[in-house]
Amino acid sequence: MVSPTPTRAADPQVWTIAADGWCEQAQRQPSPNFDARADGVTADLLVIHNISLPPGRFGGPFIGDLFCNRLDYDADPYFEQLRPLRVSAHFVIRRDGGLVQFVSANDRAWHAGVSLFKGRERCNDFSIGIELEGTDFEPFTDSQYQTLATLTDALRRRYPLVDVAGHEHVAPGRKTDPGPFFDWARFRADCPCQAEQAQLRFPSGVGESQA
């Protein structure tokens, strides 16, 4: 079932991830680009990305179209290079804080690619991927940080998340997102779970990070 509009950051600040891995407050756009996690493997890493399609342009249907394999490759010259891709993320947070979910967090979305975290390869196997609509070259919005913190809190109440990293941290040299304008310290401070549970480990240099 698809809700009519993405949830806004101003909506109630306690969200729920159901047993089937879907956030009850998110708009659903189910992607075919996923598979099952290996038996006994659950998500303990959160990976933060940024995305805009075409690059630097916000709004419009193109991110969802890419993740759902319905992108019109003739709509922009940039899209031709995306033709062979089959990718997805679990969540996208729009510039206005709207939350869209493409893959159940119980399953493996195809967001990190070739990656390594603390000696473990194939981060898709054990991570949840969140895309922020944005670029490496400009700040993210207050509404996006609010939604990200609220979503992270909900995910921690369902999954044994221990670490947070950027795509740039799990695929250094290949990826640069979420980039220099993502405020890791703000994200860490905004997370309500930081005061209530064992703290998430953030990338080096953020508070008491050990990642």
Q: 95-121 in b/e burial notation, b at 16+ Cβ within 10 A?
A: ebbbbbbbbbbbbbbbbbeebebeeee
Q: Which residue is listed with tokens 């998430």?
A: 200
What is residue 140's DSSP assignment? P
Q: Is 133 a catalytic residue?
A: no
Inter-residue contact 164 to 211 (CB < 8 Å): yes
Options 80, 131, 133, 168, the catalytic residue = 131
Closest CA to 55 of 168, 176, 173: 176
Query: Collapsing DSSP states into helix, strand and coil, what is residue 46?
Result: strand
- What is the spatial order of strands in the sheet that 91-93 belongs to? 27-28, 99-101, 91-93, 127-133, 45-51, 163-166
Q: Which residues are catalytic?
A: 131
